[in-house]
Amino acid sequence: MTTSEPRLHASATGQSATGADWLDAHFQAFLPEYEAAVRGVGIQPGWRVLDAGCGGGGFVPLLADLVGPTGHVAALDPAEDNIARVRARLAAAPLPCPVEARVGSLLALPYPDAAFEAVWLANVLMYLTDEELAPALAECRRVLRPGGLLAAKEMDGGLLLVAPADPSLLARLLEAGSRVAVPIQGFLRSRMLHGWWQRAGFVAVRQRAVPIERRAPLDPANGRYVGELLALWRGFAESLPISDADRATWQALTDPTAPAYLLDQPDFYHCDGNYVVTGRVPTPEVTAD
């Protein structure tokens, strides 16, 4: 039994759950809540906005719509295949403002100081260790203008639930995964981001929980995503150091041919928990939390 992190739905970086197909399925399943999240953080027309860790570009059209024809969107991702997906989408369906897409790291943003009015992060910080998070937030602050906005939407493992499975089953899987998988460590940290923002020097920091709930019967987009999510958890259960009993239970719950398959249960319920956190670069006018 290996105790290394499983590599599932990976992009060219090799990080689990960063491939564009997986991210697109996730985005389409939760589009109403994700659209409300990005529209609610305060991005304004005419702004220059960085989508750092853009994946396949799901949020890029929403950001372009917010900033309008006088704005600008920069899409950045460490995976070359994800940026190729963004560029293909832009070629097929041009957006109302200029959009540039490039490969780069959140730990060394390839932009000058004070280049943007806002930085948007969506399920990005979970891929960073605690040692990497502070430098990444410092980079975001560096490229923001005074008064600039840092906004993030991050998954939170503490709000994650799938029923009618025993909730403690998922808790044990996540605990085992947190020992070896950086993304699981990261999304168990999300509800503490308010403090990370403050320590990075941001002010007017706000954070709120956004539970995304789905019940049977699921629409096609949610059925596709949840099916892939269950397969992801099955892969983790096969690879992580959990009990034989838990492993057998996961196999039964995530096997589409088994009677206990979760998606076939009439009382199926899924909660995908998120936190949205925002903060501003200090100015003489914006100095208090």
Q: What is the pLDDT of residues 115-145, one digit of tens each?
A: 999 999 999 999 999 999 999 999 999 999 9
- Rounded CA separation 156/116 (Å): 27
Residue 30: the pLDDT is 94
Mean pLDDT (whole number) for 201-226 = 95
In this predicted structure, the answer to whether residue 289 has a pLDDT above a threshold of 80 is no
pLDDT in tens, 31-48: 999 999 999 999 999 999
Whether pLDDT at 1 is above 50: no
Q: What are the structure tokens assigned to 206, written together?
A: 């706000």
pTM of the model: 0.92
The average confidence (pLDDT) of the chain is 92
Residue 282 has pLDDT above 70, yes or no: yes
What whole-number percentage of the chain has pLDDT above 90?
79
Structural domains of the chain, with CATH = 20-280 (3.40.50.150)
pLDDT of residue 100: 97
Q: What is the mean pLDDT of residues 166-184?
A: 89
Indicate if the pLDDT at residue 2 is higher than 50.
no
